[in-house]
Amino acid sequence: MCDSGGALRTRKIPVQVIQLGVVFLFLGVGMFLLRQRFVPESFGDLGHYRANAVGAVAAHPIQYAGWQVCADCHTDEVETKKRSYHRTLSCEVCHGAAWAHANEETDETPPLPTQRSLCLQCHSYLPSRPTGFPQIVEERHEPAKLCHTCHNPHDPAPSETPESCSACHAAIVRVKAVSHHAPLDCQVCHETPAQHSVLPRSNLPRKPFEREFCGKCHAKGAKPPNVVRGVDLREYDIRRIDLDTHGGTLVCWQCHYQHSPEAR
Amino acid sequence: MPKTYERREFLADLAKIPCATLLLGVTGPLQALASEGGDYDPTEHYYAMGIQLDKCIGCGKCVQACKTENDVPEEPFYFRTWVERYIIYADGEVRVDSPEGGIKSFPPLEEEKQILRTFFVPKLCNHCDHPPCVQVCPVGATFKSQDGVVLVDSDYCIGCRYCIQACPYGARYLDPRSKTADKCTFCYHRITKGLLPACVEVCPTQARIFGELGKLSTPLNRMMRTSNIQVLKPHMNTEPKVFYSELDGEVR
C-alpha cells in the first residue's frame, strides 16, 4: 500500500487533466465574478431577499399624522370629542391626511368639510350596517339642510332636549325610527308609569307578553283603531297573519324583533 | 523537507475559529439593524390585525386612507385594502359587491328578493405565516420580514405576476407605473415609527385593531380572547395573521 501511494505521488499529471483544471478554474473565477456583479448587496443577509429592501419600504413618506399630534394644539376640539358619540373617531377621518400640516411649514390647512355626503358616507341607511348604528334616510331627514346646522360634528348628539324615552333608550329609538314600526310611539306597546323616569327599576313599563297583543293589529280581521296616539294607521298597509296557524306555539318576538320587524 | 504543523500553531488556529464565528454572528444582525434605521428592533415585534365584523359600517374610510397613505393608483382596480358587502338572500343565494372597493361607501339596496342577512367584510393582505406569494417569487423580491410582515422589494421585482396569481386572497396588484407587484405592508413605514396603519387610524368604529402576537394585555389580545376568531380560507394552510371576529360562514 505504502509503495503504490508513493508511486502515485511521483507520477506526472496528464496534460488533459491540467487543461481541464484550467478550464474549471476559469469557470469558477467567472462564476464568482458574475455572482459578485449580479447578486445585489445585502441579499441573503436575513433570508432569500435583500435586507436593504426592508429599510426602503420603511422609508416611505407618512401622510396621516395620528390624532395624538392634533391633540397637542387643538385641545378644545379633542376635549369635546372625547365625551361625545364621535370619541372613537380620529380627526383625520373627516379632515383628511394632515402630516404635512402637523410637521412641516405649510400654509395649507386641512379642509373643514360641510357637505351632507361626508356624514352620509357613514350615516346613510344601509341594511348591512350593524344594528343600533345611527343611520338616516337622506330624503326624509331634513332634506338639503347641512348637518352641522343641528349637529356639532365634534359632539353630534342632537342639540334639542331629548325626548322622554330616547334619553335613555336611544339605541332602540334609533333602530325603530327607520323600521316599519317607526310611526308607533313607545307607549303604544309599553304602558309606562309616570314614576318610571324618576325610579326606573321599581316602576317598570309594561311589556307585551302574549301573541294576542300583536294580534290586535296584525291578526286577520283585527280592527285596530284608526288613529293611535296621533298616527293614522289607515295610511299603512299592515301585514296580517292567521294567529291560529302562524308560528305554531312560538310567541311573536321569538322570530321578529319588535323594534325593527323585518316582515313586509 | 515539508514544514511541520506545530502543536502550538494548531491550538492557536483552533482558538481563532470561535472568535471568527462570533464576529460574523455579531456583524450580521448589526448590518440588518443599520439598514432599518433608528433604534427599531424588528426581532421584538410580530404584527397582526384583528377585524370585528359586527362593528364595520362599510364607510370606506379605510380604503381612502390606504390609497392616500400609500400612494396607490386612483383607478378603481388597485387596492391594498377594500370592503366587500355580502348579501345573503332567504333562498340561500349569496351576492357580493364592492363598487370601487367601497371607497365611497355603498349604494342603497333596492332588492325585490327577501334578504336574510347582510354585512360588510373589510379585506386586505393577510400577512400569512406561510405566504404562498413568497414561495413562488423566482427572484426573492417578496419576503416575510423578521417582524412577520410580507413585503415587496420593488427595486428587485421583475413584474412576472406569479405572486399575484398565487395569493389566495387576491390581495396583490401590479402597479401600472412601476410595473412591479404591490400590496398591503401593514403601513410598514408607520408601524416601525410607532404609528398605527392608516386604515386602523381612520376606522371610525374601531372595527380594525392592530397589534402584535405574543404580547399580553393589548387590544388585539383582548379581542382575540373575548371573540369567536376565524381566519379566511383556513384550509389553504397559509396561517393568516388577519383575524376576523363573528365571521359568517359564507365569507370566502
Option in A40, A45, A122 nearest B32 (CB): A45
B192 touches chain A (CB under 8 A): yes
B28 touches chain A (CB under 8 A): yes
Can you read off the three cell numbers belonging to residue B34? 443599520
| Chain A residues interacting with chain B (CB cutoff of 8 angstroms) | 40, 42-43, 45-64, 66-67, 86, 88-90, 92-93, 96-97, 120-122, 124-130, 133
CA-wise closest residue to B101 among B49, B48, B173, B185: B173
* Contact across the interface for B146 and A126, Cβ inside 8 Å: no
Cβ partners under 8 Å of residue A194, min gap 6:
none
% of chain B with per-residue pLDDT over 70: 89
Q: Which residue has the higher pLDDT, B59 or A169?
A: B59
**What SS3 class is residue A123?**
helix
B156 touches chain A (CB under 8 A): yes
Option in B61, B120, B188 nearest A93 (CB): B61
B246 touches chain A (CB under 8 A): no
CA distance linking residue A64 with residue B190, whole number of Å: 9
Q: What is the largest CA-CA distance in chain B?
A: 102
Full-model pTM: 0.70
Q: What is the largest CA-CA distance in chain A?
A: 125
Option in A56, A88, A97 nearest B204 (CB): A88
Look at residue B34 in the predicted model and tell me its pLDDT. Answer: 47
- The ipTM, to two decimals, is 0.80
Residues of chain A scoring pLDDT < 50: 1-2, 161, 264
The sign of the dihedral angle between the CA atoms of A166, A167, A169, A174 is: positive
CA-wise closest residue to B51 among B193, B241, B250, B183: B241
Tens digits of residue pLDDT in B87-113: 999 999 999 999 999 999 999 998 788
* Contact across the interface for A97 and B65, Cβ inside 8 Å: yes
CA distance linking residue B84 with residue B62, whole number of Å: 12
Confidence category of residue B6, pLDDT binned at 50, 70, 90: confident
CA-wise closest residue to B193 among A108, A137, A103, A135: A103
Cβ partners under 8 Å of residue B4, min gap 6:
none
Q: What are the CB-based long-range contacts (under 8 Å, 24+) for B32-39? A: B32/A45, B32/A46, B32/A51, B32/A54, B32/B146, B35/A42, B35/A51, B35/A52, B35/A54, B35/A55, B36/A54, B36/A55, B36/A58, B36/B192, B37/A55, B37/A58, B37/A59, B38/B192, B38/B193
Tens digits of residue pLDDT in B16-55: 765 555 555 445 444 444 444 568 999 999 999 999 999 9
Look at residue A163 in the predicted model and tell me its pLDDT. Answer: 66
B135 touches chain A (CB under 8 A): no
Look at residue A4 in the predicted model and tell me its pLDDT. Answer: 52
Q: Is the pLDDT of residue B145 over 50?
A: yes
Domain ranges of chain B: 44-131+185-245
Look at residue A198 in the predicted model and tell me its pLDDT. Answer: 84
Option in B37, B105, B190 nearest A121 (CB): B105
The answer regarding whether domain B44-131+185-245 maps to CATH 3.30.70.20 reads yes
